[in-house]
């Protein structure tokens, strides 16, 4: 069985698309997903399955639509992919440290895409970078570093230029998901 992380787009944001995480876990367990866990209310789901990513994306999307009446994009990564995203951050410790000093809120984020954007759309999006808003696209993952804030940033507001659905998570959330993966692995090895 593979450990997966499903990231839902637009769940429990600004009072919209409300889903109680206990109900979501129960709903997904009905699909045959194992060891379903959630982190905070924004649709971060860790689970185990023997199915492939594409099928999981589809059945989770349909189950949420059926049970909650919400059509949310579902982006999935394996536990190993999450670890690689964390270990391959394109920003130096110095860049992150400098951004943290001036940023209002979290400075480092990753936008997760179900498929890689085209070169044309990537170039369009990257044209919004500046010395205060940095981005690196690595396949289906878009690293974002803000020296001010993701709110009202040109990069944050133009992710749609990639023309691929995206859901963004801050680094703190990624680190928590990574530690949850380690807990699951540890329990399996006992």
What is the spatial distance between Cα 3 and Cα 40, in angstroms, rounded to a whole number? 19
- pLDDT at 38 exceeding the cut of 90: yes
Render the burial of 65-80: b for 16+ CB within 10 Å, e for the rest: eeebebebbbbbbebe
pLDDT at 145: 97
What is the spatial distance between Cα 188 and Cα 137, in angstroms, rounded to a whole number? 34
Q: Which residue has the higher pLDDT, 72 or 15?
A: 72
Phi, psi of 80 (to 5 degrees): -65, -40
Q: Please tell me the total count of domains within the chain.
A: 2
Q: Are residues 165 and 182 in the same domain?
A: no
What is the spatial distance between Cα 71 and Cα 92, in angstroms, rounded to a whole number? 37
Which tens digits make up the pLDDT trace of 166-183? Answer: 999 999 999 999 999 999
- pLDDT at 7 exceeding the cut of 90: yes
User: What range does the domain containing 76 cover?
Assistant: 2-83+177-189
pLDDT at 176: 96
**Is residue 133 packed enough to be buried (19+ CB in 10 Å), middle (13-18) or exposed (0-12)?**
buried
Q: Are residues 66 and 101 in the same domain?
A: no
Q: Are residues 54 and 101 in the same domain?
A: no
Q: Are residues 75 and 98 in the same domain?
A: no
């Amino acid at each position: 069985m593979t450990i997966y992380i499903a990231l839902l787009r637009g769940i429990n944001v600004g009072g919209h698309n409300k889903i109680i995480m206990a109900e979501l876990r129960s709903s997904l367990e009905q699909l045959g997903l194992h060891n379903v866990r959630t982190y905070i209310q924004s649709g971060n789901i860790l689970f185990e399955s023997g199915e492939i990513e594409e099928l999981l994306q589809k059945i989770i999307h349909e189950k949420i639509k059926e049970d909650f009446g919400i059509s949310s994009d579902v982006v999935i990564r394996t536990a190993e992919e999450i670890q690689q995203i964390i270990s391959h951050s394109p920003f130096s410790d110095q860049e992150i440290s400098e951004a943290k000093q001036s940023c209002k809120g979290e400075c480092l984020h990753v936008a997760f895409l179900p498929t890689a954007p085209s070169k044309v759309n990537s170039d369009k999006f990257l044209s919004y970078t500046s010395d205060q808003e940095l981005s690196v696209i690595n396949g289906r993952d878009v690293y974002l570093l803000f020296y001010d804030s993701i709110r009202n940033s040109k990069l944050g507001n133009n992710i749609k230029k990639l023309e691929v659905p995206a859901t963004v998570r801050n680094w703190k959330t990624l680190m928590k998901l990574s530690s949850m993966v380690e807990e699951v692995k540890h329990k399996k090895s006992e």
